[in-house]
Amino acid sequence: YESDGACIVSDACNCVHGECTTSEGSCTCLDGRYGDSCFSACPVGDDDDGISATCTNHGDCDTTLHECECSASYYGSNCSFTCPVTVSEGLEFECGAGTCDAGTCQCNNNAYLGAT
C-alpha cells in the first residue's frame, strides 16, 4: 500500500478469497465468501451448465447467516432442488394449483394436494 508516497509491503491481511483493504487491514471478500480471511464459503453446487457455483446460481449467499437464500422455485442448502412441476394441456405449472414454499407445495383456494 502507499504511505506518504512510498510503497509499503504489509502482512496486515491474509485474504484467501478477497482483497486486502490496506487502510483498514481487513479483507473485502469475493461473492459467496466470508470470514476474517475470506476462507469460508456458502454452499456450492453445479449450476444449469454444470459449473460449480455458490448457491448453484439459484440464490444469494447470506454472509451473516452463512447460508444460501434461494430464489423462488428453488430450495435446499445450496438451492439445487426445484419445486414439483405438473403439465396440463402442454403447459407447465409449478405445484399445479399452488405455490412452492421451500420445496413444499402450498395449495391455493379450492385445490388439494394429491395426484395430478
Residue-level pLDDT at 79: 92
pLDDT digits (tens, 9 = 90+) for 6-60: 444 555 678 889 998 877 778 888 888 888 888 988 999 998 899 999 999 999 9
Q: Is the pTM of this model over 0.85?
A: no
**Cβ-based burial of 27 (10 A; exposed 0-12, middle 13-18, buried ≥19):** buried
pLDDT digits (tens, 9 = 90+) for 68-113: 999 878 888 999 988 777 777 777 767 766 777 777 777 776 655 5
SS3 assignment, position 20: strand
In sign, the C-alpha dihedral spanning 48, 74, 55, 57 is positive
90 or 61: which leads in pLDDT: 61
